[in-house]
Structure 1
Amino acid sequence: MMGDVSAIGLSSTSLVIFLLLYTSFATHLPQPAFDEKTSSFKVGVILNLGTKFGNSSRLCMEIALSDFYLAHSNHKTRLDLVFMNSPNDPLSAASAAENLITKQEVQAIVGPQTSEEAAFVSLLGNANKVPVISFSATSPSISHEKTPFFIRTAMSDSFQASAIAALVSHFTWKQIVPIYEQSEYGAGMISYVVNALKAIGAWVPYRTAIPPVSSDDFISKELLKLMNMECRVFLVNMRKSLALRLFAKAREAGMMDKDFVWILSDGLTSQLGTIRPPILRRDFYGVLGLKTLVKTSRKLQDFENRWLKVSRNDNLEVDRSDLTVFGLWAYDTVWALAVAAETEFQTNPRSENNLKTGWLKTILDVEFNGISGEFQLSGGERKRPVFEIVNVAGSSERTVGYWTEKGLQRYHSGEGSNFSTEGLSPVIWPGDTTVIPRGWVNPTVGKKLRILVPGPVKTGFHPFLRAEKDPKTGKLAVDGFVIDVFETALKELPYAVPIEYVQHNITGSMKKPTYDELVQFVFQQKYDGLVGDVTITANRSNYVDFTLPYLPSGIRMIVPLRDDWSGSAWRFLEPLSWKLWIVTGGFVIFTGFVVWVLEHRFNDAFRNSIKDQVGTTSYFIFSTLVYHHKEAIKSNLGRLVVIVWILVVLVLQSSYTASLTSMLTIRHLKPITFELRELGTQDSIGYLRGSFTGKRLLKEGFDPNRLKPFSSPEEYLDALGKGSKSGGVSAIFDEIPYIRLFLKNYCKNYTMAGTAYKAGGFGFVFPKGSPLVPDLSLALLRLGEGDRILEIEKRWFGDLSSCGNNESTLTSDRLNMAMFWVLFLITGLSSTFAVIGSLICFLHGKRRQLLERNPGERLMQKVVSVANTFDEKSVKSTGVRQRKITEMSSSRDLFDSSFIGRSENGPWIPSPSYCPSTSTDFSPPEERSLPNEQKTRAEEGTSNQ
């Protein structure tokens, strides 16, 4: 942090002048009046009084002391500040602290200036139970938890870690390289940054530590190393003097141009205002920085004016920018000690033992609103701050947003302390561009990425991947679907990525590495990536990053096909589905009933006893199925119903015959089993050697002795052909892409079966946090959306559906109800309308007879009467025949007795009225139903004759 940065040292002459004039310094500040009873609290202060930072902090403390007692002139205590000089040397600081504790007998020590010094002084304070309060030592390695008498009134550098991680996440960077000063101050917060980045999925691939006394040549060499790496996001945490040299060399190396990102820690960002504008514009243009937010107030402005006036009266060459947040913290620290001294004096008797036991707690409990903001300690540390995010644009810095515990936010001007979640304002990056850097580029020295490929690969899987070493040249030749997809995706990237394909121990080892072992090699960073048919799994994703899958996958089985003659005695039933059999039988019965209704009254074939009627009707309707019916149909409606029914029977019979012929003459095959769990306890199962499918089978509970690994489709074919009983296997458990490749050549005898187990698909493998992963994933998405991957697949595999896409769901010759529902609808409607029409005509012809019945009859008697009337035989007639009968009425011999009756006046002629398509009653008048009176007269006339 900036408090650990030593500003440019004052000359020795200036230091002498300061010591001579120090005794008269009190005349520059208004002094409060104290009575003789005022109690003094001695507080030692250790600073580097030979630096601008040290003298600036001293003036802030003096002004705080004057302001406090002018505002609290009635207090009974007064702080007495005893200053000691320490030139940024831990031993000197420890010596000064020992002098203050033993000789000056101070009750507290403020300082020292750097974290290295504070580490020594805090140990002395802890041993002597003297509180050590630091407003500038920001390294998290020193804490109240480790040394209880150490109190930090500055902000711990560990607080910055979350803000830095939020920036990295906001701009979707995956890597960041810390460049820090090799000191307690520089290295203290790095571990916190690493952990915060890990929580958001980013990581630190490299660290650069630069000693404070490094030469410019050393700095240039370290920057050259970074230029040769992919990462272009850098975090700088060092003192200002070293940072000025670093950025000057970075500009000379071309690292302040496009594609580079520089983030400054709080300590360095807070001192940007002390850097001369020409240097800031030239060497720091486009950098981002974190700076503790201090809200502007009237009290703060008054303090700045007085500090500037006093500094110039003291012959210090300073301006307003030299007053940093550390000076404000120094002011608030002295104010807090003055409050604690008065509180301690009022609550505890002035004894040495009580002072040491209660004094520390009193300091920790102090709360007030200072010029730097709310002063409140928690666990010996200042409360977590709000960071202002600034961007150097030209010779000044501009605010682009803020970080709070809620995340990155944009400040609304004019709305007090309210924040919004609108994100950050646009940032001007190095190279004077507003385009967000990707954070990663191809190394400028042309380093090739070493891409690992599986191998050696069996011939049967060469369409997927072929990787063979040329015995003459020694070069590795690779091609196949996987390589084609990978290289096509690389061409989609907006930058070049030189690669080199390698295999692991291709000649030095007889054992082929498993895919899990290949993934581990990438995790161990032995290789820059792994390109192959590698399945994405949860376990592997714990170690490496996968691109989006370029080929979907799943796990199923390859099983043999066998001739399916099971249940052959009932094979004749298979052409029709069971629903179609039931519906057909139902319509046979229904149609028979309809024909009986239409023919019963005037067709002798459908009369006689009930037994004969049932037999005749059943025989008739079933004989229509084979077109062998003999009974004549006399009604027009009956003929219509039968014709429609025979049409349906014709279609059904033809379809049934064709389907049965296909079943009996064509070879029908089916898988041995459709589910993995259906395999018997004696069945052996195969899987692809080196694949994760073997572990999946073990997880399913299969005996390891039943599992057999294979390396090629040819081995699959041989093992499946033998079967489990002959040393082979009953099924092969494998991923769908491999199964499709196998079935392309062998689908006539094998098929894919079983429930599909989910798998993550095939993806390319890279180390955790590799920036290639999101870029390649986006490229693969574009390839998939444009069907270019399908084109590559056809180029290497051909038409995988050329064998009929033979899978576990086999094509069926069975006929189902969906094919014939329209025919059944037609015959059903025609039969229904025929019955309704016939009944209407019957009731119409018998309406007078039915209406003249006894009105007192019950409903059931009426129904029985109608049924009896319907059961009576009627004579069928047509209009043409009726006209002939009328014309021949004079010749009695020409009429058959079955059509013409007799009466006392001569032959009886039927009534000219009749109902089409229904029977007309041609019975003699004397046999008709007449009114009782007429019927009596008719009987009498007959008897007279």
Structure 2
Amino acid sequence: MKLTRVSLAPFYVMVVWVFLASCVSCQRPHVVKIGAIFAFDSVIGKAAKPAIEAAVSDVNADPRILNGTELKLIIRDNNCSVFLDSISVFQVIAEEVVAIIGPSSSSIAHMIGEVANGLRVPLVSFAATDPTLSSLQFPYFLRTTPSDSSQMAAIANLTDFYGWKEVIAIYVDDDYGRNGIAALDDELDKKSAKISCKLPLPVGFDENNITVALNSSKLRNTRVYVVHLSPDPRLRIFKVAQKLGMMTSNHVWFATDWLSVTLESFSAKDQVLLNSIQGVLGLRQHIPDSSRKKELLFRWRNMHKKGSIDSPLNVYGLRAYDTVWAVAYGLDKFINDQNNVTFSFNHKLIDMKASKMQIGKLKVFEGGAFLRKEILQANFTGLAGQVHFDASERNIVNAGYDILNIDQMRVRTVGYWSKDFGLSVSPPETLRRKKYSFSLLDQRLQTVIWPGGETEKPRGWVVANNEKPLKIGVPYRVSFVDFVTENKSSHEIVGYCIDVFMEAQKHVPYDVPYSFELFGDGHFNPSYNELVNMVYNGELFAGDQNGYGGLLQLPLTSCLTYEHLGPVEEELDYIREGPSDPIVAPGCMVVAPNCTVVVSDDTVEEQNCTKVALDPLVVGVTHIMAMVEGQTAPSSLLWPAGQR
């Protein structure tokens, strides 16, 4: 039997090829690049840059993570410019980075987010808080800081806690400002409150822009302000408000977390600026104390003494540090799962022939979707607290906010806000350990010092500026002149009804600008129906949403003279079904011999319409329904004296 010799060479070649291929696929890369893009010279950037560099150094020194792989940082300064950032992002991505940390600006994040989508590079921001960045439009955008939706919920909770139903919003007119205030509008709506006026400021606003905006707000009755700006070391908004006399006890000022970040950046010589923000309430991201946080603060102080850094560490510096670790943990898991760090050309970019920008050289990160998934699954305790993402919106799960109150030269923490527990005087982590059961009735804060140094809660509104006085219609009659008429010599409006009005006005705890408007020619008795129609049409009443209407809306449902008197039930039915559009305001009075209406102050705290006993000669029925922004005050029927 003859044996045939078979060559095993092809088999051995195949085995060696499979072995080498498997070795290549499992081999850990020696170096992996990550990018970082933000404004170095901003309040946030001054703390973020050294924090990111320290985090990269710490990751590389820790053998428990990325063992055998070095993390290399490619960092660029965008100088707070969308134009310059559009160049920087391509420069960074051309270095074949697997993730980008930043930016610190929401407007810039919108632009980079589109690039990150196209090249499948996860974009992880530590400071871009615009809520719309969580939309499905930006699947590769993640953030290790809370969305502004969270702090706007806290602001809405504060306004509701103190009983204010309207606020004036002041914000920078960009994606960050507009979308943040839109979130505030949504949160206030849940509390049956609203933004009565929006005052946008240009991106590069100056003190003149602020002055114009604040002066325009004086024509409104609302005195509760919510300020949503970028960090401003000069605190210009409050400096101008102080000059305009708007930091007094009649005003309420809320600031989102831009103020706390600004204050954290202050040096000792800057503390004098606290005088301009007496009584302001602000938010600060709640950061639990930890040994790791204290260690970094100790290192930070040493670097500051050596002159290697010139800015204090703030909350966004802590967030930036944690962001590097979140990317590192995701990358470690990505590599351990035997994924390769590989890039490929996009043929559509090559076909663009954009030689000057060299767009054709940009590569798509093939493992971008997998790395994004691994980062979203990160769950560790960082310097700023627990780092854990809400997978649906790709935001970090928010720990809550500290409620800050500026009292003279001190910044006091008067309470805390969290989604789970609302407002409390104990930190959220303490309440969780105690397994605290949340109730709206348990919400409380420590004593707040308001503008002007007062501890009593401000009313939050005033009667609008004298430029829009309350117009009071006065019938110019030829009979019953003792009730109301014009003095022929002095041309003053006098009479019994005027005396009642003047006396009632003394009990109103604020100034009511008004003017008497004669109705009729004095030769014939005017038509009361026409007078009421003029009130209905707004000809004799200056109360609108810019003036009195936001304070107290009083639909005049019926004004009846002796000619209209009938069975009480009939009149009440007429009143209930009558028109409700005509509006009068606090202190308003419709003056007529047979019908006198006096309305005094009716705030949220004191809902007691004043009842005025009329002279027996005045025969009439008047019914007023008082409605205070979502609440119905007790109504008062004014009957002829002795007939109640």
Query: TM (normalized to structure 1)?
Result: 0.51
Matches within 5 A, 1:430-441: 430-441=451-462
Query: Is the aligned partner of 1:447 residue 2:462?
Result: no
Task: Give the secondary-structure state (helix, strand or coil) at the position aligned to 1:357.
Answer: helix
Tell me the number of residue pairs that the alignment of Structure 1 and Structure 2 aligns.
552
Counterpart amino acid of residue 449 in structure 1: P
Counterpart amino acid of residue 238 in structure 1: L
Query: Is the aligned partner of 1:355 residue 2:367?
Result: yes
CA distance in 1: counterparts of 2:640 and 2:487, whole angstroms = 37
Partner deviation per Cα, 1:472-491 (whole Å, 9 max, x = no partner): 99x9979887x887665432
2:163 paired residue number: 172
Instruction: Indicate if the aligned counterparts of 2:517 and 2:540 stay in contact, CA closer than 8 A.
Output: no
CA distance in 2: counterparts of 1:310 and 1:192, whole angstroms = 39
Instruction: Indicate if the aligned counterparts of 2:388 and 2:396 stay in contact, CA closer than 8 A.
Output: yes
Of structures 1 and 2, the one scoring higher in RCO (CA 8 A, sep 6+) is: 2
- Unaligned 5+ segments in structure 1 are 1-35, 531-542, 550-689, 694-710, 717-737, 740-750, 808-945
Instruction: Indicate if the aligned counterparts of 1:144 and 1:150 stay in contact, CA closer than 8 A.
Output: no
Instruction: Indicate if the aligned counterparts of 2:472 and 2:517 stay in contact, CA closer than 8 A.
Output: yes
- Of 371, 384, 394 in structure 2, the residue corresponding to residue 372 of structure 1 is 384
- By how many angstroms is 1:302 displaced? 0.9
1:213 paired residue number: 204
2:333 paired residue number: 343
- By how many angstroms is 1:188 displaced? 2.7
CA distance in 2: counterparts of 1:232 and 1:529, whole angstroms = 13
Instruction: Indicate if the aligned counterparts of 1:138 and 1:154 stay in contact, CA closer than 8 A.
Output: yes
CA distance in 2: counterparts of 1:524 and 1:448, whole angstroms = 8
Instruction: Indicate if the aligned counterparts of 1:250 and 1:256 stay in contact, CA closer than 8 A.
Output: yes
Give the number of the structure whose alpha-carbon radius of gyration is greater: 1
- By how many angstroms is 1:496 displaced? 1.6
Query: Is the aligned partner of 1:496 residue 2:500?
Result: no
Counterpart amino acid of residue 331 in structure 1: Y
2:358 paired residue number: none
Q: Structure 1 pair 480/238, CA: closer, same or farther in 2 (3 Å)?
A: same
- By how many angstroms is 1:504 displaced? 11
2:361 paired residue number: none
Counterpart amino acid of residue 118 in structure 1: A
- Of 392, 397, 403 in structure 2, the residue corresponding to residue 389 of structure 1 is 403
Range moving further from structure 2, 291-300 or 149-158: 149-158
CA distance in 2: counterparts of 1:504 and 1:154, whole angstroms = 62
**How many percent of aligned residue pairs carry the same amino acid?**
25
Instruction: Indicate if the aligned counterparts of 1:336 and 1:363 stay in contact, CA closer than 8 A.
Output: yes
- By how many angstroms is 1:81 displaced? 1.6
Counterpart amino acid of residue 323 in structure 1: L
Task: Give the secondary-structure state (helix, strand or coil) at the position aligned to 2:103.
Answer: coil
- By how many angstroms is 1:234 displaced? 1.7
2:80 paired residue number: 88
- By how many angstroms is 1:122 displaced? 1.0
Task: Give the secondary-structure state (helix, strand or coil) at the position aligned to 2:131.
Answer: coil
Query: TM (normalized to structure 2)?
Result: 0.72
Instruction: Indicate if the aligned counterparts of 2:476 and 2:518 stay in contact, CA closer than 8 A.
Output: no
2:415 paired residue number: 401
Instruction: Indicate if the aligned counterparts of 1:348 and 1:354 stay in contact, CA closer than 8 A.
Output: no
Counterpart amino acid of residue 410 in structure 2: S
CA distance in 1: counterparts of 2:211 and 2:104, whole angstroms = 30
Q: Structure 1 pair 349/517, CA: closer, same or farther in 2 (3 Å)?
A: same
Q: Structure 1 pair 520/43, CA: closer, same or farther in 2 (3 Å)?
A: farther
- Of 585, 606, 619 in structure 2, the residue corresponding to residue 797 of structure 1 is 619
Query: Is the aligned partner of 1:99 residue 2:91?
Result: yes
Q: Structure 1 pair 527/96, CA: closer, same or farther in 2 (3 Å)?
A: closer
Matches within 5 A, 1:120-519: 120-241=111-232, 244-275=235-266, 276-313=269-306, 315-318=308-311, 322-350=312-340, 351-352=342-343, 355-378=367-390, 379-405=393-419, 406-411=421-426, 421=442, 423-442=444-463, 446-451=466-471, 488-500=503-515, 518=537
Kindly indicate which of the two structures has a greater share of residues assigned to helix: 1
- Of 602, 611, 634 in structure 2, the residue corresponding to residue 775 of structure 1 is 602
Q: Structure 1 pair 447/85, CA: closer, same or farther in 2 (3 Å)?
A: same
Partner deviation per Cα, 1:378-429 (whole Å, 9 max, x = no partner): 1211223311101111323111111122322122799576578351111112
Counterpart amino acid of residue 272 in structure 1: L
- By how many angstroms is 1:317 displaced? 2.5
- By how many angstroms is 1:336 displaced? 0.7
Matches within 5 A, 1:7-46: 37-46=28-37
- By how many angstroms is 1:804 displaced? 12
Instruction: Indicate if the aligned counterparts of 2:39 and 2:80 stay in contact, CA closer than 8 A.
Output: yes
Q: Structure 1 pair 161/779, CA: closer, same or farther in 2 (3 Å)?
A: closer
Instruction: Indicate if the aligned counterparts of 1:451 and 1:527 stay in contact, CA closer than 8 A.
Output: no
- By how many angstroms is 1:210 displaced? 2.5
Counterpart amino acid of residue 151 in structure 1: L
- By how many angstroms is 1:456 displaced? 7.8
- By how many angstroms is 1:307 displaced? 2.8
CA distance in 1: counterparts of 2:47 and 2:231, whole angstroms = 16
Q: Structure 1 pair 515/174, CA: closer, same or farther in 2 (3 Å)?
A: farther
Computed over aligned residues only, the root mean square deviation of the Cα atoms, in angstroms, reads 4.7
Partner deviation per Cα, 1:779-832 (whole Å, 9 max, x = no partner): 772744xxxx23x36462399999998x9xxxxxxxxxxxxxxxxxxxxxxxxx
Counterpart amino acid of residue 324 in structure 1: N
Kindly indicate which of the two structures has a greater share of residues assigned to strand: 2
CA distance in 1: counterparts of 2:205 and 2:640, whole angstroms = 71
- Unaligned 5+ segments in structure 2 are 1-26, 344-364, 589-598, 622-637
Counterpart amino acid of residue 377 in structure 1: F
Instruction: Indicate if the aligned counterparts of 1:280 and 1:396 stay in contact, CA closer than 8 A.
Output: no
